[in-house]
Amino acid sequence: MTTVYDDTAFADAIEPFRRELTAHCYRMLGSVADAEDVVQETYLRAWRARDRYDAERASLRTWLYRIATNACLTARGSGTRRVLPSGLVAETDPRSPFQLGEVPWLQPMPDARVPRGETSGLRLAFVAALQHLSARQRAVLILRDVLDFSAAETAEIIDTTVTSVNSALLRARASVAKADEERLREPEESERRAWIERYTKAFVAADVDAIKRLLAADVVMEMPPMTNWFTGPDNYGVFMDWVFEANGGDWRTVPIEANGQLGFAAYVRRDGRYRRHTLQVLALSEQGVTRNSVFSEDEVLDAFGLPPVLDD
């Protein structure tokens, strides 16, 4: 039996799912703007098909996820992948000239745009690893392991068999296992915030030695849209020496939360004003900072509502 909603009731019933669907589409697509566009398309498709929704076949949530997932699969039909530099090219020397990569880059997701407490499966390294899977493997892994849909529900959502779902899930899990280690290494939130506070203080002081003492031995620095990336505290320190030499030592920061991780926006003083410079998302372990993903594109900084200039 088809459940019939009047227009107002239907709109009220589907609206609470918007933010979690945005997070889902972001995991699939790696772009905040693309995710929001696909969610808008999902709601349009749902509205047009509202008289065909059957509550006996699927919950409203499952029905919306089916529409959204298939919209993502269509959106990714061109094979475009959003990646980070460490998943694209070999490691570079921190003294190397900057190389601009003309590719679609993975973007960070502001925590404010997803439901509170539902940032599981949003870590940058994990979402980056997802982008190297086929679109259907990505969908299966997200639906099963992140969103806890059953194999049968997942098969219904992407129109396949339970056997195919289970097979795709095994392959996908093996591909992203290394990226998921980062989450398992991370300390409790209070300790993470203490590490970030110490790192931010060292950064504002332009104290490279203090920064290096806060880094894990396997730390990774990457900074799309540049393809340059490197590992280790010594290389990190060489790069930070250049940053402060090129930009000066007068900085301010604004805390941010992205992808269930902590970080900050950096503002540097130029022409008497503190001007927007970069957004930095940090991953941590008990040994210190394990990854710093640095973004400078206006589209990314605007998504976090960061003003171009800070008031003194």
Task: State how far the Cα of 154 lies from the Cα of 176, in Å rounded to an integer.
Answer: 19
Angle at 252 between CA 246 and CA 255, to 5 degrees: 120
pLDDT at 77: 55
What pTM was computed for the model? Answer: 0.91
Task: State how far the Cα of 157 lies from the Cα of 69, in Å rounded to an integer.
Answer: 7
Residues forming beta bridges with residue 221, ordered by sequence position: 230, 292
Per CATH, 1-78 and 189-310 having the same topology is answered no
Token representation of residue 211 = 């920064």
Task: State how far the Cα of 92 lies from the Cα of 85, in Å rounded to an integer.
Answer: 10
Cα–Cα distances (Å) from 156 to 65, 74, 150, 185, in that order, read 10, 17, 10, 35
CATH classification code of 189-310: 3.10.450.50
- Residue keyed to tokens 């900057």: 98
pLDDT at 157: 94
Cβ atoms of 235 and 208 within 8 Å: the answer is no
Encode 33-55 in three state secondary structure. Answer: HHHHHHHHHHHHHHHHCHHHCCC
Nearest to 237 by CA among 95, 85, 98: 95
Which residues in the chain come in under a pLDDT of 50? 1
Task: Give 24's contacts (C-beta < 8 A, 6+ positions apart).
Answer: 65, 68, 69, 72, 142, 147
pLDDT at 211: 98
Decide yes or no: CATH 2.40.10.10 for domain 1-78: no
Helix (H) or strand (E) holding 70: helix 60-75
The domains of the chain are located at 1-78, 189-310
Nearest to 32 by CA among 69, 67, 82, 71: 82
Task: State how far the Cα of 72 lies from the Cα of 122, in Å rounded to an integer.
Answer: 17
In terms of Cβ atoms closer than 10 Å to its own Cβ (0-12, 13-18, 19+), residue 246 is exposed
